[in-house]
Amino acid sequence: MSESDFAVGEHDDSGMVGQDLPYTLEGKADTVTTDALENESDVDTEPRALNRDTWRNLAAFWVIGALNNSAYVIMNAGASEISSGAVGLVYLCNVAPSLLTKITLPYWADKVPYKVRMIICTLAMIMSFVLVGFGDNLQIQLLGVACSAFQSGLGEASILALASKYHATSTLTAWSSGTGFAGVLGYAWVAVIHQYAKVSLKATVLSGIVLAVGYILSYFYLLGPPTAVVSSPTTGGAGNATEGSNSVNAALDNNEEDDEEATLLSNLNDTQNSTASKPSSQLSGYERFCFIASLWRYIIPLIIVYFSEYAIQAGAWAVFGFPITSKAARDKFYVTANWMYQLGVFISRSSGTVYQADLATLWALPVIQAGLLVFFCLDSIFHFWWDWSLLSVCIVTGLIGGAVYVNAFTLISKTVEPHRVELALTSASVGDSLGILMSNISSIFIQGCLFRWNNLSGARYSCTCCASLPPSQNISVASFQLDSLTS
Q: Which residues 6+ apart lie within 8 Å of 75 measured at CB?
A: 82, 90, 94, 128, 132, 144, 145, 148, 149
Cα separation, 250 vs 220, whole angstroms: 10
For residue 238, which phi and psi values (nearest 5 degrees)?
-120, 145
Angle at 411 between CA 33 and CA 170, to 5 degrees: 95
Tens digit of pLDDT for each residue in 249-306? Answer: 655 444 444 444 444 444 545 444 566 667 787 888 999 999 999 999 999 999 999 9
| Residue 402: Cβ within 10 Å count | 29
Tens digit of pLDDT for each residue in 322-355? Answer: 999 888 898 889 888 988 999 999 999 999 888 8
**What is residue 258's predicted lDDT score, i.e. its pLDDT?**
46
CB 54 within 8 A of CB 47: yes
CB 96 within 8 A of CB 146: yes
Tens digit of pLDDT for each residue in 73-92? Answer: 888 877 767 775 566 678 88
455 in the Ramachandran plot: left (φ > 0), alpha (ψ -120 to 50) or beta? Answer: left
**What is residue 37's predicted lDDT score, i.e. its pLDDT?**
32
Give the three-state DSSP class for 231.
strand
The pLDDT-based confidence of 191 (bands split at 50, 70, 90) is confident
CB 224 within 8 A of CB 246: yes
CA Rg value for the chain: 24
Is a pLDDT exceeding 50 seen at residue 34?
Answer: no
Cα separation, 82 vs 104, whole angstroms: 29
Cα separation, 85 vs 80, whole angstroms: 8
pTM strictly above 0.85: no
Give mean pLDDT, residues 214-234. Answer: 74
The pLDDT-based confidence of 369 (bands split at 50, 70, 90) is very high
**What is residue 262's predicted lDDT score, i.e. its pLDDT?**
45
Give mean pLDDT, residues 387-402. Answer: 96
Is a pLDDT exceeding 70 seen at residue 45?
Answer: no
**What is residue 136's predicted lDDT score, i.e. its pLDDT?**
83
Cα separation, 302 vs 428, whole angstroms: 9
Element (H, E) at 35: helix 34-38
Least confident of 31-35, 192-196, 248-252, 411-415: 31-35
**What is residue 397's predicted lDDT score, i.e. its pLDDT?**
97
**What is residue 447's predicted lDDT score, i.e. its pLDDT?**
84
Give mean pLDDT, residues 123-139. Answer: 92
Cα separation, 291 vs 294, whole angstroms: 5
Tens digit of pLDDT for each residue in 163-174? Answer: 999 988 899 999
Mean pLDDT of the chain: 78
Cα separation, 205 vs 212, whole angstroms: 12
Q: Calculate what percentage of the chain has a pLDDT beyond 90.
A: 47
CB 281 within 8 A of CB 110: yes
**What is residue 331's predicted lDDT score, i.e. its pLDDT?**
83
**What is residue 184's predicted lDDT score, i.e. its pLDDT?**
87
**What is residue 137's predicted lDDT score, i.e. its pLDDT?**
86
**What is residue 465's predicted lDDT score, i.e. its pLDDT?**
65
CB 334 within 8 A of CB 366: no
Nearest in space to 163 (alpha carbons), one of 438, 474, 410, 456: 410
Least confident of 101-105, 156-160, 324-328, 400-404: 324-328
Give mean pLDDT, residues 111-136. Answer: 94
**What is residue 14's predicted lDDT score, i.e. its pLDDT?**
37
Q: Where are the beta strands (DSSP E) in 163-246?
A: 230-232, 237-239
Cα separation, 448 vs 377, whole angstroms: 12
For residue 48, which phi and psi values (nearest 5 degrees)?
-65, -35
16-30, 180-194, 276-290 — which one is most confidently predicted on average? 180-194
Cα separation, 11 vs 223, whole angstroms: 13
In a 13 Å sphere around the CA of 140, the CA atoms on its Cβ side amount to 10
Give mean pLDDT, residues 226-231. Answer: 53
DSSP, residue by residue, 374-438: HHHHHHHHH-SS-SGGGHHHHHHHHHHHHHHHHHHHHHHHHHS-GGGHHHHHHHHTHHHHHHHHH
Least confident of 38-42, 132-136, 411-415: 38-42
**What is residue 228's predicted lDDT score, i.e. its pLDDT?**
53
Tens digit of pLDDT for each residue in 92-122? Answer: 888 999 999 999 999 999 899 999 999 999 9
CB 118 within 8 A of CB 129: no
**What is residue 455's predicted lDDT score, i.e. its pLDDT?**
86
Cα separation, 432 vs 464, whole angstroms: 30
